[in-house]
Amino acid sequence: MPGHARTPPSAGGRRDCGVRCPTPDAFDPGVQCPTSASLNPDVQCLAPAPLDPGARCPTSAHLDHGVHRPFSAPLNPGAHRRSPAHLDHGAHRPFSAPLDPGARRPTQAHLNPSAHRPSSAPLGRAAILGPMTTVDHLRQVRLGNLRTVLLALVDRPGSRADLAARTGLTKATLSNLAEPLLANGILVEDAATLAGMGRPSKPLRFHPDGPVAVGAEINVSHLAVESLGLDGETIHRRLVPTDIRTSSPNKILDQIADLIREITTQRPMLGVGLAVPGVVQDGVLVRAPNLPKLVGVPLAENLSKRLNLDVELENEANLAALAHLWPRHLAGEDFVHVSADVGIGAGVVLNGEVYRGTGGFAGELGHVVIERNGVPCTCGSRGCVERYAGLDVILKEAGRRRLDSLAKALEKGDPKAVDAVEAAGAALGVGLATLMNLFDVPTVVLGGSYAVLHAHLKAAVQSEMDIRVLAGERRLVASPLGEFAVVRGAAGLITRRAVLQPERLFA
Ligand SMILES: [Zn+2]
């Protein structure tokens, strides 16, 4: 748990984390300081960066007058939403994006306790709306506690007593928080079970008929959809191979909408995450060398109209990386996920957050130059990694048309196929070494088609990284999510936001 000194519980069951408590004693003692929840080792700490104990814990987002923690920010600030109620504040600003002067971040400027007083924030929301009232404050405390409970339930179901122990909240607070979640069909209480000598416990878990999110993917060579519950369980999914390069945007959206309808049930829908192979800025696809006709098209808005659902657009590589981060940490909190289709996509995860860069261009590993005067690239440069390690290049060099055919050739030890994959692995390793020297991440996850080729790709990639990465040996693993990583991440984008901003579950 980065950045939080753990101290013994103080009198009355509270814990003193050394962080300025947002819940003064004057308030109802039954209201647990949500900041203290972050001290519980079972609670996923929401602080992405080590903080000085004197600084305010960013978990206490409720003090920020609506400016949510970066952790809770969706990847894309410009998603299309149906209702103005969802267009609130800077909650959708990614951690890496510039913040407005009123927004808070764990910088030196906020180490001064006085800086946390709403009245001292000259340009923040408090200056516009006035000081936060006690009612506002308690509401935000409650939302913070709800988030803590939901995060614990994403980890695993539990009785009220178990959840209280895992979150640091009191059992009374737990019961109070569970009530609306049960009443709204978000949670369900299982039959009482006898465990040990105590009273029978009734485990709480996400309702099997509760809200779901859908992930959808527009890929050059396929369309895919997946529905995901708040507990992280896949409900339905489908992938349809198809070359969409000659299809119109409307036809593509019609096809995606039909696929989503096919997997939609009567369960409440939280929204749709839509993945595209290109750079997304403010909810708009601004660069897609392999699908140029989709650039500038209001994809999220047009799909939203077809389905009457909220739709959020994001880059596929970032979503594939997110799928390894939420709802389960499959590769730690610092890693690079890299996959290949026609191009190469990489999602860089730092401190448990997908790093997008200022304009969404971060992770363009495919256009890292490994040969200054090398093969011309679609980006206008030369010698880019994807000109040597992209899937279309590998297939061409191997004399194969499809990935499954290439995989079979590799199984048989076809020398041409083996040489093509090893050459691609070496080029990829050189590019990855540059990226790892820049970001110092310990793990590379090979996903998508690279996961299929992993056994034959790994040695060449690892060899180049071992030579070139200054930090020494780095871990290279195959993604366990296969071809559904992107849609799982797209759906996870929506379920994660619902858990971290629980007010959305009651909208
Ligand atoms: Zn390039």
pLDDT digits (tens, 9 = 90+) for 219-228: 988 999 999 9
CA distances from 465 to 208, 434, 437, 469, 475 (A): 45, 9, 10, 5, 10
> Where is pLDDT greater, at 246 or 274?
274
Residue 122's pLDDT band, with cuts at 50, 70 and 90, is very low
CA–CA gap between residue 497 and residue 73 (Å, rounded): 7
- To 5 degrees, how large is the angle CA 66–CA 70–CA 74? 90
Q: Are strands 284-287 and 311-315 parallel, antiparallel or unpaired?
A: unpaired
Residue 79's pLDDT band, with cuts at 50, 70 and 90, is low
Phi/psi of residue 283, each to 5°? Answer: 80, 10
How many angstroms does the Cα of residue 322 sit away from the middle of ligand 1?
24
Percent of the chain with pLDDT over 90: 56
Q: What is the pLDDT of residues 285-296, one digit of tens each?
A: 998 888 889 999
Q: Is the distance from CB of 294 to CB of 254 less than 8 angstroms?
A: no
How many angstroms does the Cα of residue 491 sit away from the middle of ligand 1?
29
The H or E element that residue 153 is part of is helix 134-155
Q: What's the pLDDT score for residue 40? A: 36
How many angstroms does the Cα of residue 289 sit away from the middle of ligand 1?
10
How many angstroms does the Cα of residue 385 sit away from the middle of ligand 1?
7
CA–CA gap between residue 397 and residue 384 (Å, rounded): 17
**Mean pLDDT to the nearest integer, 111-116:** 31
Q: Hey, which residues does 269 pair with through a beta bridge? A: 212
pLDDT of residue 26 exceeding 90: no
Q: Is residue 263 classed exposed, middle or buried when 0-12, 13-18 and 19+ CB atoms within 10 A define those classes?
A: middle
How many angstroms does the Cα of residue 372 sit away from the middle of ligand 1?
11
- pTM of the full predicted structure? 0.73
CA distances from 18 to 26, 30, 39, 141, 426 (A): 19, 20, 11, 18, 49
Residue 300's pLDDT band, with cuts at 50, 70 and 90, is very high
Name residues whose C-beta falls within 8 Å of residue 405's C-beta, 6 or more positions apart in sequence: none
Residue 379's pLDDT band, with cuts at 50, 70 and 90, is confident
**Mean pLDDT to the nearest integer, 36-61:** 35
- Stretch among 70-79, 155-164, 415-424, 477-486 having the lowest mean pLDDT: 70-79
Q: Name which of 147, 155, 229 is nearest 491 in CA terms.
A: 229
How many angstroms does the Cα of residue 231 sit away from the middle of ligand 1?
39
Q: What's the pLDDT score for residue 23? A: 39
List alpha helices for 156-272, DSSP H: 160-167, 171-183, 249-263
Q: What is the pLDDT of residues 328-345, one digit of tens each?
A: 999 999 999 999 877 898
Q: What's the pLDDT score for residue 378? A: 84
How many angstroms does the Cα of residue 437 sit away from the middle of ligand 1?
20
CA–CA gap between residue 384 and residue 390 (Å, rounded): 10
How many angstroms does the Cα of residue 8 sit away from the middle of ligand 1?
54
Q: What is the DSSP string of 272-317?
A: EEEEESSEEETTEEEE-TT-GGGTT--HHHHHHHHHTS-EEEEEHH
Q: What is the pLDDT of residues 421-437, one digit of tens each?
A: 999 999 999 999 999 99
The H or E element that residue 476 is part of is strand 475-478
Q: What's the pLDDT score for residue 205? A: 95
Which of left, alpha, beta for 313 (phi over 0: left; psi -120 to 50: alpha)? beta
How many angstroms does the Cα of residue 224 sit away from the middle of ligand 1?
26
CA–CA gap between residue 435 and residue 412 (Å, rounded): 33
Q: Is residue 227 classed exposed, middle or buried when 0-12, 13-18 and 19+ CB atoms within 10 A define those classes?
A: buried
CA–CA gap between residue 470 and residue 465 (Å, rounded): 9
Residue 150's pLDDT band, with cuts at 50, 70 and 90, is very high
CA–CA gap between residue 360 and residue 76 (Å, rounded): 9
How many angstroms does the Cα of residue 468 sit away from the middle of ligand 1?
21
- Stretch among 114-118, 129-133, 365-369, 398-402 having the lowest mean pLDDT: 114-118
Q: What is the pLDDT of residues 86-106, one digit of tens each?
A: 323 333 333 333 323 333 333
How many angstroms does the Cα of residue 365 sit away from the middle of ligand 1?
9
Q: What's the pLDDT score for residue 116? A: 32
In the chain, the domains with their CATH numbers are 11-67+102-207 (1.10.10.10), 212-322 (3.30.420.40), 331-480 (3.30.420.40)
Q: What's the pLDDT score for residue 129? A: 58
Instruction: Copy the structure tokens of residue 20.
Output: 């300025």
pLDDT of residue 144 exceeding 80: yes
**Mean pLDDT to the nearest integer, 24-52:** 36
Q: What's the pLDDT score for residue 14? A: 38
How many angstroms does the Cα of residue 375 sit away from the middle of ligand 1?
9
CA–CA gap between residue 424 and residue 371 (Å, rounded): 14
Rounded to the nearest 10 degrees, the angle between the axes of helix 160-167 and helix 134-155 is 110
CA distances from 485 to 48, 52, 217, 225, 313 (A): 24, 36, 10, 11, 16
Q: What is the pLDDT of residues 197-253, one digit of tens each?
A: 666 678 999 999 999 999 999 998 899 999 999 999 999 999 998 888 889 999 999
Q: What's the pLDDT score for residue 80? A: 58
> Where is pLDDT greater, at 354 or 71?
354
pLDDT of residue 48 exceeding 50: no
How many angstroms does the Cα of residue 379 sit away from the middle of ligand 1?
4
**Mean pLDDT to the nearest integer, 276-280:** 91
